[in-house]
Structure 1
Amino acid sequence: MLSKKVILIGDFSTGKTSLIRRYVDNQFSDRYLSTIGVKISRKKIDVKEEVLQALIWDIEGGTKTKPVNKTYLIGAHGCIVVADITREDTIGHIALYLNEVQTIAPGIPFVIVLNKSDCLPEEEASVIQAKVLQTYKSYTQSVYVASAKSGEGVMTAFTRLAMELAGQ
């Protein structure tokens, strides 16, 4: 069994914890719980003929005045950068997180998740997704529109990263 460290990183209140809860436990809560520090979850994932144990690190959100603790990034094998599709500022901060992770863990695969898609019309979400894909195509071709609330896109994003981690 392969064991891989996956980090979720992004601004406060983008839904990192909710995405993990939806993926690991298939649950969602409207209650906002701010992550302090880091919380680690485990999930076994079947990827073709491999079983991958993902150690999913839910890292406290960053702000201008309090950046993400870089020690949490050390040893990461894969990264999901999360932005709130309804908040342009969080989308603008994607580059900061991509660059920060690349400095600590160069060459790891990235997936970008634009969370809270249930709050926008599908056409608008698709336009934003296309812009983000164009902007960050040098980092990843994996940009997903997702909703932790409805579950849309969550499994797809995590599965894509798992496949890259398993080398497939």
Structure 2
Amino acid sequence: MPSRRRTLLKVIILGDSGVGKTSLMNQYVNKKFSNQYKATIGADFLTKEVQFEDRLFTLQIWDTAGQERFQSLGVAFYRGADCCVLVYDVNSMKSFDNLNNWREEFLIQANPSDAENFPFVVLGNKIDVDGGNSRVVSEKKARAWCASKGNIPYFETSAKEGVNVEEAFQVIAKNALKSGEEEEIYLPDTIDVGSSSQPRSGGCEC
């Protein structure tokens, strides 16, 4: 039987303030929704264990503040991410238009080794509001944007009603896994990433 190694996969959720990032995370991890809106200060994260092919993975899902005054915190949170989730509110054109800024900001701050193929997933949230009558961003428009950015997977979600949340995070986890596996092959499990065959001096190479 294959060994059940635990692997940590880091997922970052980005998007404008109030689009439902925290609610999506809570719905996925805790199966809960709250109508009480509380802005995230800085960043927060939840973890959830997922299993693929007899391997256990811990998804570490980081929810970052949408307010611009917290964006300077970005670098530390973005580094080492295995997947980035871009969230907008289907009832807010501004939140959709800002997806491009969030995506570019992430690529600059996280500086992934293969920016062209880094996995993103886009979620159009709040499809439940007003029975869908308030929406201003069509699914066609959102899918066209995702296609233009290298066929980013797209889901329409309702954090409140749990619509497509589980399905979206399954794809997020799979994409994070693909991204994270490349690192696993090359990096040993220790902090020392130098060649193990080379004797190392005791000094810090910070």
Residue 148 of structure 1, CA deviation: 0.5
Select the residue among 141, 157, 166 that pairs with 1:146.
157
The equivalent of 2:123 in structure 1 is: 113
Structure 2: state its 5+ residue gaps: 1-5, 180-206
Structure 1: state its 5+ residue gaps: none
The equivalent of 1:70 in structure 2 is: 74
Q: Is residue 2:98 matched to residue 1:93?
A: yes
Residue 108 of structure 1, CA deviation: 2.5
Contact map agreement 1:110 1:139 (CA 8 A) in 2: no
Q: Distance in 2 between matches of 1:45 and 1:140?
A: 25
Alignment of 1:19-58 (within 5 A): 19-58=24-63
Taking every aligned residue pair, what percent have the same amino acid on both sides? 27
- Matched letter for residue 101 of structure 1: F
Contact map agreement 2:9 2:177 (CA 8 A) in 1: no
- Matched letter for residue 138 of structure 2: I
Superposition TM-score, scaled by structure 1 size: 0.89
Distance change >3 Å, CA 141–CA 24, structure 1 → 2? same
The equivalent of 1:164 in structure 2 is: 175
Higher fraction of strand: 1
The equivalent of 1:134 in structure 2 is: 144
Distance change >3 Å, CA 117–CA 139, structure 1 → 2? same
Q: Over the residues paired in the alignment, what is the CA RMSD in angstroms?
A: 2.3
Highest CA radius of gyration, 1 or 2? 2
Q: Distance in 1 between matches of 2:96 and 2:132?
A: 17
Q: Distance in 2 between matches of 1:87 and 1:162?
A: 27
- Matched letter for residue 134 of structure 1: A
Aligned length in residues: 167
Contact map agreement 1:50 1:166 (CA 8 A) in 2: no
- Matched letter for residue 156 of structure 1: E
Superposition TM-score, scaled by structure 2 size: 0.73
